[in-house]
Amino acid sequence: MPATPEFPRNSALAVCAAALLLAGAARAQMPFAPFGGRSVALGGASMGLGPDVAAAVDNPAAVPDRNFAFTISAGLLTRESGDFLAPLRLISGNNPAALASGLQSLSYADVVKALRTLSDPGNGLVGNGNVGLAISHAGWELSFTDWGYSGLSARVDLAHTALSTDPATSIAFNDSAAALRGLELKDLALSRSMSFFLGRLTVGAAVHALRGTTYTKEESVFTVDVSDPFSLAQRALTGAERSHTDWSFDLGGLVSLGVVKVGGAWKGINKPSFPFADDGPAADRGRSVMYGQQARVGASARIPGVGLLVAADYDLTVNDTLVPGLRVRQLGGGVEWEILLVAVRAGASVNLESPDRSPAFTGGAGVVIGPAKVDLGGWYLTDKSALGVSLTARVGL
């Protein structure tokens, strides 16, 4: 886009710096979820990848200034925090009344131990998914994305764990529950980017119309089906529901210095919130889910002559989740190697707020087919506590 000399350089830099510094001190709700398969394969890095029609969903400063670009994407990611799935699988299928009889002493001891493990703060399973499309032209972008966030935790009854028939203490009366919570956001967004200083600095903003639906329900830990993390994440988007319309706005910046790009975004600045249903589980009545504020910075560098790109992102804000006590601050990145019309990618992502900080490994590939690019990305942990896949197609003219 043409330069705009009337805009003072110091003013532009000051605005971006002030926005990111203010964001760094904020608390956020809902972890950052990358939109495209390329970002997923690069460990979640997206801030420094623009200009790109898919990356612009994450950072409005990445809206391309070409004549036309279009993208469509879909993905689903789940991740366990702490020791949650294994104890839940151990408990599920047991009959509390049979355990209370004393005839299953080994099973009884294992179940009580598992219940205590589930009560540890921050233990849970989180998931996020998206299906969306975006179209851009000359620095403007219109997108529609259906975002889904889910959280599964346990509300543990440790008062009823005894081998007895006493209703006050017997495990036969244990009402420990798996708490499933979800938030679905139908997000219609309009983004605009503007470049200055011959394209070295780009700033962007986005406004979102949000139709949010919260979900909440409980299932007994003795009967809940925990065979598939993907199924659990999707089941959290069922139960008592309540819809609410709100709006939000984002700011972004992107600095291009030769082969290096540095970007950042501040999303959900006005912190829209979405209440839970009044007829849901008692623990969620009168509560709501906040979306924003989120702040993230990132960078990418292309190594000349070898077709190698290195990218990384870092969350400035600590993001709450739908699992009580579980917070997320991601650090992730990866490398991309382009060979003719094919790109191969690998990376890793770690939650710096997690006690064990176990990394999830990511990877994927992309292929160029005429004016189109198709990207596939996924992430995985060897114990299957993190699973994810994302597929994105982009067209630019």
pLDDT at 228: 83
Which of these ranges, 131-145, 188-202, 246-260, 382-396, has the smallest mean pLDDT?
382-396
Contact predicate 279/216, CB 8 Å: no
pLDDT at 335 over 80: yes
pLDDT at 2 over 80: no
pLDDT at 29: 58
**Which one is predicted more confidently, 317 or 385?**
317
How confident is residue 227, by pLDDT bands cut at 50, 70 and 90?
confident
Which of these ranges, 143-152, 174-183, 221-230, has the smallest mean pLDDT?
221-230
Of the CA atoms within 13 Å of residue 73, those in its CB half-sphere come to: 36
For 13-46, what is each residue's pLDDT tens digit? Answer: 333 433 333 333 334 457 788 899 999 999 999 9
pLDDT at 383: 64
Percent of the chain with pLDDT over 70: 91
**Which one is predicted more confidently, 278 or 388?**
278
pLDDT at 259: 94
For 40-69, what is each residue's pLDDT tens digit? Answer: 999 999 999 989 999 999 999 999 988 899
Contact predicate 204/252, CB 8 Å: yes
pLDDT at 28: 42
How confident is residue 248, by pLDDT bands cut at 50, 70 and 90?
very high
pLDDT at 308 over 50: yes
Give the chain's mean pLDDT.
Answer: 89
**What φ, ψ does residue 171 adopt, rounded to 5°?**
-65, -20
pLDDT at 14: 38
Map the chain to HEC letters.
CCCCCCCCHHHHHHHHHHHHHHHHCCEEECCCCCCCHHHHHCCCCCCCCCCCCCHHHCCHHHCCCCCCEEEEEEEEEEEEECCCHHHHHHHCCCCHHHHHCCCCHHHHHHHHHHHHHHCCCCCEEEEEEEEEEEEEECCEEEEEEEEEEEEEEEECCCCCCECCCCCCCEHHHCCCEEEEEEEEEEEEEEEEEEEECCCCEEEEEEEEEEEEEEEEEEEECCCCCCCCHHHHHHHCCCCEEEEEEEEEEEEEEEEEECCEEEEEEEECCCCCEEECCCCCCHHHCCCEEECCCEEEEEEEEEECCCCEEEEEEEECCEEECCCCCCEECEEEEEEEEEECCEEEEEEEEEECCCCCCCCEEEEEEEEEECCEEEEEEEEECCCCCEEEEEEEEEEEC
The whole-number average pLDDT for the span 284-292 is: 92
Percent of the chain with pLDDT over 90: 73
Write the burial class of residue 8 (CB in 10 Å: 0-12 exposed, 13-18 middle, 19+ buried). exposed
For 153-170, what is each residue's pLDDT tens digit? Answer: 999 999 999 998 899 999
Residue boundaries of the structural domains of the chain:
9-396
Which residues is 2 bridged to in the sheet? Answer: none
For 109-127, what is each residue's pLDDT tens digit? Answer: 999 999 999 999 889 999 9
Q: What is the dihedral of CA 363, 368, 373, 379, to 10 degrees?
A: -10
Q: How far is CA 393 from the centre of its chain?
A: 20
Contact predicate 212/183, CB 8 Å: yes
In one-letter notation, the amino acid at residue 314 is: Y
| d(C-alpha 24, C-alpha 317), whole Å | 5
pLDDT at 105 over 60: yes
What homologous superfamily does CATH list for 9-396? monomeric porin ompg (2.40.160.40)
pLDDT at 365 over 70: yes
